[in-house]
Chains A and B, each alone.
Chain A
Amino acid sequence: MVDVSEAVKGDSKVPICPSIPSGEQTVWANASSLLHLACNDLRDGELIYGENFNLFAAMSALEIMDPKMDSGMVRTYYSVDEAIEYGAAPIPLSLDKTVDVQRIIDIMDHLLACEATWHKGCSLAQTVFSCLYLLRPDRTSSHALLHSYCRVMRATCNAVVCTVSDTRTNEEEDLFTMTHGLPLKVDGDDKCLTMLHAVEETIARQLRACKATLSKKRVTEDIEPLQNNPDLEEGLCKSLLCQLRFRKHFYHVVMNIKRPQGRGLELAKKHIACCFEELDSMIKSADFLRSISAPEDGMKNETTASGCQPVGFDSTLNSRLSAPTPPRAIETISWKKAAEYFQKLLHELEIICSYNLDPVFEGLLRFVVEFQKLRPELVARAHLQHLLVQDGKLYGRDSVFSVICKASLLPEVAKNHDIQKIEPVVQLGQLLITLLRVLCTNISWQRRKLGKILQDWRIIHVQLELAFRKECGDISATSSNENICMKICRHILIWVEEQTYWIASRFLMLGFELDLYSPGEYCMVYWYMYIILIKLAEKTHMRAMTSNDISKKKGKKKRDLVKEGGKDYQLPPAILFLQCHVYLAEGLTMMLAALRNERQMYVSTGPFNTEHERFVQHFELLLKACLPDHVSYYSFVETTAHAHLSNTAMYNCFKGAQRIAKELRSSFSNDPDKMAELRRIEQVAEHNSVALGLISRLGAVDASLKVQFEFSHHPFFATAVVKRS
Chain B
Amino acid sequence: METRSENEPEVDIKASEIKYLSYGGEHHLPLIMNLVDEELSEPYSIFTYRYFVYLWPQLSFLAFHNGKCIGTVVCKMGEHRGTFRGYIAMLVVLKPYRGKGIATELVTRSIKVMMESGCEEVTLEAEVTNKGALALYGRLGFIRAKRLFRYYLNGVDAFRLKLLFPRREPEPFDSMASVDDESHEYNEHIHCGENPSCCQHSM
Q: Hey, which bits of chain A sit against chain B, CB under 8 A?
A: 1, 45-47, 49, 53-56, 58-63, 66, 68-69, 120-121, 168, 171-175, 323-328, 434, 437-438, 442, 444-445, 447-449, 452, 455, 514-518, 520-521, 605-610, 612-614, 616-618, 620-621, 623-624, 632
3 nearest CB pairs, A to B: A606-B141, A58-B51, A68-B43
Q: Hey, which chain B residues are within 8 Å of A327, CB to CB?
A: 193
- Is the Cβ of A444 less than 8 Å from the Cβ of B147? yes
With A515-B147, A618-B143 as given contacts, are A449 and B203 in contact (CB-CB < 8 Å)? yes
- Is the Cβ of B193 less than 8 Å from the Cβ of A444? no
- How far is B50's CA from A49's CA once the two chains are assembled, in angstroms? 10
- Point out the residue from B45, B147, B180 that lies within 8 Å of A69, measured CB to CB: B45
Residue ID in chain A nearest B145 by CB atoms: A617
Q: Hey, which chain B residues are within 8 Å of A60, CB to CB?
A: 190
Residue ID in chain B nearest A633 by CB atoms: B173
With A68-B43, A518-B138, A613-B164 as given contacts, are A607 and B149 in contact (CB-CB < 8 Å)? no
CB of B13 within 8 Å of the partner chain: no
- Point out the residue from A55, A62, A517, A608 that lies within 8 Å of B45, measured CB to CB: A62
Residue ID in chain B nearest A327 by CB atoms: B193
- Is the Cβ of A434 less than 8 Å from the Cβ of B45? no
- How far is B173's CA from A66's CA once the two chains are assembled, in angstroms? 50
Most chain A CB neighbours (cut-off 10 Å) among B47, B55, B138: B47
- Is the Cβ of A61 less than 8 Å from the Cβ of B138? no
- Is the Cβ of A121 less than 8 Å from the Cβ of B51? no
- Is the Cβ of B141 less than 8 Å from the Cβ of A55? no
- How far is B180's CA from A305's CA once the two chains are assembled, in angstroms? 48
- Point out the residue from A326, A437, A614 that lies within 8 Å of B143, measured CB to CB: A614
- 15 A/B residue pairs, CB under 8 Å, sorted by A: A1-B54, A58-B50, A59-B47, A59-B48, A68-B43, A328-B153, A434-B203, A455-B179, A606-B140, A609-B165, A612-B166, A613-B141, A616-B177, A618-B143, A624-B179
Number of interface residues of B (CB under 8 A): 58
CB distance from A372 to the nearest CB of B (A): 14
- Is the Cβ of B76 less than 8 Å from the Cβ of A613? no
Q: Hey, which chain A residues are within 8 Å of B44, CB to CB?
A: 59
* Residues 149-164 of chain B, each 1 if its beta carbon lies under 8 Å from chain A, else 0: 1100101010100111
Q: Hey, which chain A residues are within 8 Å of B111, CB to CB?
A: 608
- How far is B195's CA from A326's CA once the two chains are assembled, in angstroms? 10
CB of B148 within 8 Å of the partner chain: yes
Residue ID in chain A nearest B47 by CB atoms: A61
Stretch in B60-68, B92-100, B181-189 with 4+ CB within 8 Å of A? B181-189
- Point out the residue from A62, A515, A610 that lies within 8 Å of B128, measured CB to CB: A515
- Point out the residue from B43, B45, B144, B196 that lies within 8 Å of A515, measured CB to CB: B144
CB of B15 within 8 Å of the partner chain: no
- How far is B146's CA from A624's CA once the two chains are assembled, in angstroms? 17
Residue ID in chain B nearest A178 by CB atoms: B195
CB of B21 within 8 Å of the partner chain: no
Q: Hey, which chain A residues are within 8 Å of B157, CB to CB?
A: 444
Residue ID in chain A nearest B46 by CB atoms: A45
Q: Hey, which chain A residues are within 8 Å of B148, CB to CB?
A: 172, 444
- Is the Cβ of B193 less than 8 Å from the Cβ of A609? no
With A606-B141, A608-B115 as given contacts, are A174 and B198 in contact (CB-CB < 8 Å)? yes
- Is the Cβ of B141 less than 8 Å from the Cβ of A608? yes
- Is the Cβ of B46 less than 8 Å from the Cβ of A56? no
- Is the Cβ of A516 less than 8 Å from the Cβ of B147? yes
Q: Hey, which chain B residues are within 8 Å of A518, CB to CB?
A: 138, 143-144
CB of B8 within 8 Å of the partner chain: no
CB of B28 within 8 Å of the partner chain: no
Q: Of residues 93 to 151 in B, which have CB atoms within 8 Å of A's CB atoms? A: 108, 111, 115, 128, 138-150
- How far is B174's CA from A567's CA once the two chains are assembled, in angstroms? 40
- Is the Cβ of B190 less than 8 Å from the Cβ of A609? no
CB distance from A169 to the nearest CB of B (A): 10
- How far is B193's CA from A424's CA once the two chains are assembled, in angstroms? 40
With A328-B193, A624-B177 as given contacts, are A514 and B203 in contact (CB-CB < 8 Å)? no
- How far is B150's CA from A312's CA once the two chains are assembled, in angstroms? 29
- How far is B198's CA from A53's CA once the two chains are assembled, in angstroms? 21
Q: Hey, which chain B residues are within 8 Å of A609, CB to CB?
A: 141, 163-166
- Is the Cβ of A632 less than 8 Å from the Cβ of B201? no
CB of B10 within 8 Å of the partner chain: no
Q: Hey, which chain A residues are within 8 Å of B182, CB to CB?
A: 448
- Is the Cβ of B195 less than 8 Å from the Cβ of A55? no
Q: Hey, which chain B residues are within 8 Å of A323, CB to CB?
A: 193, 195
Q: Hey, which chain A residues are within 8 Å of B166, CB to CB?
A: 609-610, 612-613
Q: Hey, which chain A residues are within 8 Å of B147, CB to CB?
A: 444, 447, 514-516
- Is the Cβ of A171 less than 8 Å from the Cβ of B50? no
Q: Hey, which chain B residues are within 8 Å of A63, CB to CB?
A: 45-46
- Is the Cβ of B150 less than 8 Å from the Cβ of A172? yes
- How far is B55's CA from A1's CA once the two chains are assembled, in angstroms? 10
- Is the Cβ of A121 less than 8 Å from the Cβ of B198? no
Residue ID in chain A nearest B198 by CB atoms: A174
- Is the Cβ of B150 less than 8 Å from the Cβ of A617? no
- How far is B164's CA from A609's CA once the two chains are assembled, in angstroms? 7
Q: Hey, which chain A residues are within 8 Å of B50, CB to CB?
A: 1, 45-47, 58
Most chain A CB neighbours (cut-off 10 Å) among B111, B149, B177: B149
Q: Hey, which chain A residues are within 8 Å of B150, CB to CB?
A: 121, 172-173
- Point out the residue from B153, B179, B190, B197 that lies within 8 Å of A59, measured CB to CB: B190
- How far is B194's CA from A107's CA once the two chains are assembled, in angstroms? 29
- Point out the residue from A444, A614, A620 that lies within 8 Å of B149, measured CB to CB: A444
CB distance from B97 to the nearest CB of A (A): 22
CB distance from B143 to the nearest CB of A (A): 5
Q: Hey, which chain A residues are within 8 Å of B164, CB to CB?
A: 609, 613-614, 616-617
With A455-B179, A514-B147, A518-B144 as given contacts, are A438 and B165 in contact (CB-CB < 8 Å)? no
Q: Hey, which chain B residues are within 8 Å of A614, CB to CB?
A: 141, 143, 164
- Is the Cβ of A55 less than 8 Å from the Cβ of B187? yes
- Is the Cβ of A444 less than 8 Å from the Cβ of B146? yes
- Point out the residue from B54, B55, B195 that lies within 8 Å of A324, measured CB to CB: B195
- Point out the residue from A120, A449, A452 that lies within 8 Å of B179, measured CB to CB: A452
Residue ID in chain B nearest A63 by CB atoms: B45
Q: Hey, which chain A residues are within 8 Å of B178, CB to CB?
A: 620
- How far is B181's CA from A452's CA once the two chains are assembled, in angstroms? 9
- Is the Cβ of B45 less than 8 Å from the Cβ of A61? yes
- How far is B49's CA from A47's CA once the two chains are assembled, in angstroms? 11
CB distance from B43 to the nearest CB of A (A): 4
- How far is B130's CA from A307's CA once the two chains are assembled, in angstroms? 34
- Point out the residue from B143, B177, B179, B186 that lies within 8 Å of A56, measured CB to CB: B186
Residue ID in chain A nearest B140 by CB atoms: A606
Residue ID in chain B nearest A433 by CB atoms: B203
Q: Hey, which chain B residues are within 8 Å of A449, CB to CB?
A: 203
CB distance from A253 to the nearest CB of B (A): 26
Q: Hey, which chain B residues are within 8 Å of A53, CB to CB?
A: 51
- Is the Cβ of B188 less than 8 Å from the Cβ of A55? yes
- Is the Cβ of B203 less than 8 Å from the Cβ of A325? no
CB distance from B159 to the nearest CB of A (A): 7
- Is the Cβ of A171 less than 8 Å from the Cβ of B128? no
CB distance from B30 to the nearest CB of A (A): 10
Most chain A CB neighbours (cut-off 10 Å) among B50, B111, B143: B143
- Point out the residue from A49, A328, A447, A621 that lies within 8 Å of B54, measured CB to CB: A49
- How far is B179's CA from A624's CA once the two chains are assembled, in angstroms? 8
- Is the Cβ of B187 less than 8 Å from the Cβ of A56? yes
CB distance from A166 to the nearest CB of B (A): 14
CB distance from B150 to the nearest CB of A (A): 5
Q: Hey, which chain B residues are within 8 Å of A326, CB to CB?
A: 193
- How far is B201's CA from A260's CA once the two chains are assembled, in angstroms? 26
Residue ID in chain A nearest B108 by CB atoms: A607
- How far is B188's CA from A54's CA once the two chains are assembled, in angstroms? 10
Q: Hey, which chain B residues are within 8 Å of A621, CB to CB?
A: 177, 179
- Point out the residue from A62, A616, A618 that lies within 8 Å of B176, measured CB to CB: A616
